[in-house]
Structure 1
Amino acid sequence: MNKPTARQIKKEQTKTLLLNTAFDLFSSQGFLGTRMSDIAKAAGVSHGTVFLHFNTQEEFIAEVVNHFCNKIALRTHKLSESSSSLKDLLSAHLDAISEYEAFYTRLVIENRMLSQEVRDTFIIAQSAISLHFSKVLEKIDTSSFSPALLFNMWIGLIHHYLLNGDIFAPEESVIAAYKATLTETFSSLLMQQNNKM
């Protein structure tokens, strides 16, 4: 295999810089509140340099969402490998989100206003996480519930708290403030319902 040239290395470093800069700005200003020129300026590159790496703004946003949602999914995967219970898996999922909480929250808030490509990327990342969820549910008797419905309920609960972070945890991490409550309550409700069946 050929060794990358200095130019190729520099190009890859610039792309990584752009992705990380966009992540920071999207986390703090939102996707819709951040212009490509803002990212270029914060990264210390020309506006045209951004378009050397990404053809359109939508493609750039999709790449950033894909990159960081994959990190969340991979982190959930790593943390959940040793999960023996639903509560452990839920906790691992929240730990993975918490590492990117501001970005993830912005994505949840602005998702419906972003391009279909970005929304599809977000859904694919959620699907990867739902696979782990289903595997853990196989160990528990949840035959009276659809795993997809249970996963959607879990995601809906998390998203509700993140969307209303100003109410639930003003000026602090929603995940840090509610991780134990969310995991314990969700898993307890599921277990109680199963016991009634």
Structure 2
Amino acid sequence: MKESQREKQKIETRKHILDAALKQLAKDGLTTTRTSDIATEAKVSHGTVFAHFPTREILLDAVIEDFGLRLTKRLHELVGTNASMKDLLKAHIKGIREYENFYTRLISEQRLLPESARNSLIMIQSAISFHLIQIAEREMEECKIRRMPIDLLFNMWVGLIHYYLINGDMFAPNESVLERYGEQLVEHYMNLIKLK
């Protein structure tokens, strides 16, 4: 069955609102951005936003879910089946870098978000964890990296990235933290985990 022109327009409008919301939330914050700000950014009426997303919480959940799908898809594109740990870390940095401002807002405001939004962040982290576990187990078997609990390996990496992002004003005022420090963070982490 073919989609009608009206159905296609609804899908496009919804996508347009999600894109505008991602941009506005990255700029003004997930907890403080108003739906009217998103409508202005999207150049649609405030009612149009609510026609597609009946509540602010539903809109926020949809934006985080859409962001997670984009990041996960990008990670899958960048990480091949025989990727090394270093390849994965570089891909993770590159994927986050494309949405750095939004991701930084998400991790810094996560405790203030509704449970459904926090659960979406957990799903995003799970996708990254999935790849890391596969590669880490293989590289531990091949004696390329130290044997250690996988959860510690993952938490060390994510903690390092999050620390730099949350403190971006200190490390890279008015510029991308990951552009400035991404390679250095990957090298430092690899030096911590690789076998000498």
TM range (shorter): over 0.9
Question: Is residue 77–residue 129 contact of structure 1 (8 Å, CA) maintained in 2?
Answer: no
Q: Secondary structure at the match of 2:107?
A: helix
Residue in 1 that maps onto 2:110: 111
Q: Confirm whether residue 98 of structure 1 aligns to residue 97 of structure 2.
A: yes
Instruction: Report the TM-score, using the length of structure 2 for normalisation.
Output: 0.93
Cα deviation for residue 55 of structure 1 reads 2.0
For 2:55, give the aligned amino acid: T
Match of 1:163 in 2: 166
> In the alignment, is the contact (CA less than 8 A) between 1:28 and 1:102 conserved in 2?
yes
AA partner of residue 72 (structure 2): A
Cα distance in structure 1, aligned partners of 2:120 and 2:66 = 10
Which residue is 2:88 aligned to?
A: 89
Aligned residue identity for 2:29:
G
Q: Is the CA contact 1:27–1:102 (under 8 Å) kept in the aligned structure 2? A: yes
Tell me, in whole angstroms, the C-alpha distance in 2 between the residues paired with 1:46 and 1:189. Answer: 52
For structure 1, the residue ranges without an aligned partner over 5 or more in a row are none
Q: Counterpart of 2:77?
A: 78
Which residue of the partner structure matches residue 131 of structure 2?
Answer: 132
| Contact 2:79 2:91 (C-alpha < 8 Å) held by counterparts | yes
Please give the alpha-carbon distance, in whole angstroms, between the structure 1 residues aligned to 2:153 and 2:93: 16
Task: Give distance in 1, aligned partners of 2:9 and 2:128.
Answer: 33
Equivalent pair of 2:146/2:193 in contact (CA under 8 Å): no
What is the percentage of aligned positions where both structures have the same residue?
43
Which residue of 2 is the match for residue 191 of structure 1?
194
The CA distance in 2 between the partners of 1:83 and 1:171, in whole Å, is: 36
Task: Please give the secondary structure, in 2, of the residue aligned with 1:117.
Answer: helix
Task: Return the alpha-carbon distance in structure 1 between the equivalents of residues 37 and 56 of structure 2.
Answer: 12
In 2, the alpha carbon distance for the partners of 1:80 and 1:72 equals 12
> What are the within-5 Å matches in structure 2 for residues 60-79 of structure 1?
60-79=59-78
Amino acid at match of 1:187: M
Structure 2 match to 1:3: 2
2:22 corresponds to 1:23: yes
When normalised by structure 1's length, the TM-score is 0.92
Match of 1:174 among 159, 174, 177: 177
Q: State the aligned residue count.
A: 192
Cα drift, residue 94 of structure 1: 0.3
Q: How many Å separate the matches in 2 of 1:132 and 1:29?
A: 32
How far apart, CA to CA, are the structure 1 residues paired with 2:194 and 2:4?
Answer: 57
Q: Alpha carbon RMSD of aligned pairs, Å? A: 1.4
Contact 1:91–1:183 under 8 Å retained in 2: yes
